[in-house]
Amino acid sequence: MRWYLHKLAMMFGAQPRRPSKREETDVARDMKKFQKTPEERYKRREIIAKEQQYPVVSNKWKYARWVSIIVINLMFVVSFSWDVQLVEGAMTASRFLGFHMADPTSALMVTLAYKDLMLNLIIGTVTVVVLWWFFGGRAFCSWACPYHLLAEWAEAIHLFLTKRGWVKDHGFHRGLRVVLWFVFMALAFLTGYTVFEYINPIGIVSRALIYGPTVAVVWVIFLLGVEIFFSRRFWCRYMCPMGLTYGVIGTMAPVQIKYDLSKCVHEGECREVCLVPHVLEITKMGYAQDTTEYIAPDCTRCGLCIDACPQGALGFTFRGLDGII
C-alpha cells in the first residue's frame, strides 16, 4: 500500500525513490541480486552494445496515437462544417450522437463559477470519467488532445536543437500544476468566470480547428515556442491541470502499461522518450518493488516506452490479466 501511495504521490510532485526493504518483494530482491552478478552484467552490456550498433526502431504506438488524435478532432471539424451532427461542441464540452460529454476539470470550474449544478453537465462529466477511467485517465492526453500532437512535434524540434547544443532544457517542479489546479478553481469561484479556458491550449486549438482561429492562437504559438527553446513539454509536464484530473481518474484503470523486471536490461531508452519520465524510474536498476509492476498513475499510455524497448519489458495489459500486449 505504501508503494502504491508513493506512485500516487508522484503525480502531485513527489520525487521517485527506491522501494524500502519492507516494500520490496523477496522475488524482486533475488532477481536484482542475480542481475548484478558478473555474468549478467556482461550479458547486459553485450545486449546494450548490440542495440546501439543495430538499433531497432518501432513507431507502432506513436502512429496509432497520431491517427487517433487526428480522427477524433476531425470528427468535430466535419460535424460542424457539413452539419453532420455526429459531434457537437468542442473538446472541453460536446455531444456525441446525442450523449453529453464534458471535461471534468472544465465542468468543475463551470460549477464553481456559476455556483449551480447543471444536469447535462453532470451527465457529460460522468460519461467522460467512466470512459477515461477505463483507458487510464491521462490516455486522454496522448490519444485525444489536439495540443498534444503539436507539442509532440515541438518536442522533436527541441530535441534536435538540444542535441546540437543550441538550446537547453529547463525543468520545473511538477507540483506547479497542482498549485495551478487550485488557483484556477479558486479564480472560477471568486470571479464567476472560467479563467482557465482563456489560456487552455487544448480548448483554444480545438475551437480553432472547428470554428476558425482567433487571436488566442498567439498564446498557443507562444507556448510551443517555450517548449521548443526553453522547456521540453512545458505545458503537459508542469502546467496542465486537466492532465492532473485525468491522472486521478485513471489511478485504478483496467488498461495499464506493465513492467517486467526479468526482461529489462536497464539501458534507459524508455525514459528518454517518455512524456512523464518520473513514472519510469522503476526501470532503473534497483528501483522496482516487484518483478512485475504497473506504471504509476501519471502515465499517459502513449506507448512510446513500448516502442523504445526492444526487450519487450514494457507493454499494454488489462489489470489482473497475465501477459502484456
pLDDT value of residue 321? 67
Provide the Cα torsion 104, 143, 127, 248; round to 10°.
-50
Give the tens place of pLDDT for each residue, 177-198.
999 999 999 999 999 999 999 9
pLDDT value of residue 218? 97
Task: Inform me whether the pLDDT recorded for 317 exceeds 70.
Answer: yes
Q: Is the dihedral of CA 72, 77, 78, 84 positive or negative?
A: positive
The three three-digit cell numbers of residue 147, written as one number: 495540443
Task: Inform me whether the pLDDT recorded for 323 exceeds 60.
Answer: no
- Residue 236 amino acid letter: C
* Mean pLDDT along residues 275-296: 91
Measured distance CA(84)–CA(260) in Å, rounded: 46
pLDDT value of residue 220? 97
pLDDT band at 301 (very low <50, low <70, confident <90, very high): very high
pLDDT value of residue 179? 96
Inter-CA distances, 324 with 57, 222, 255, 292, 315, Å? 19, 40, 11, 11, 5
* Mean pLDDT along residues 82-88: 85
Question: Hey, how many other C-beta atoms are within 10 angstroms of the C-beta on 317?
Answer: 19
Return mean pLDDT, the chain.
Answer: 90
Q: Higher pLDDT residue, 45 or 221?
A: 221
- By C-alpha distance, which of 302, 133, 288, 218 is closest to 313? 288
β-sheet with 255-260: strand ranges across:
292-294, 255-260, 314-318
Task: Inform me whether the pLDDT recorded for 324 exceeds 70.
Answer: no
pLDDT band at 108 (very low <50, low <70, confident <90, very high): very high
Half-sphere exposure (Cβ direction) of 282: Cα atoms closer than 13 Å = 29
Note the pTM of the prediction, 2 decimals. 0.90
Long-range CB pairs of 280-284, under 8 A, 24+ apart, other chains included: 280/305, 281/16, 282/16, 283/259, 283/313, 283/314
pLDDT value of residue 223? 97
The whole-angstrom distance between residue 306's C-alpha and the CA centroid of its chain comes to: 14
Contact yes or no for 232/169 (Cβ under 8 A): yes
Give the tens place of pLDDT for each residue, 3-19.
778 888 888 988 888 88
Q: Higher pLDDT residue, 137 or 112?
A: 112
pLDDT value of residue 189? 96
Measured distance CA(48)–CA(265) in Å, rounded: 8
pLDDT value of residue 36? 83
Give the tens place of pLDDT for each residue, 216-263.
999 999 999 999 999 999 999 999 999 999 999 988 899 999 999 989
Provide the Cα torsion 131, 135, 141, 146; round to 10°.
-60
H or E stretch including 110? helix 104-114
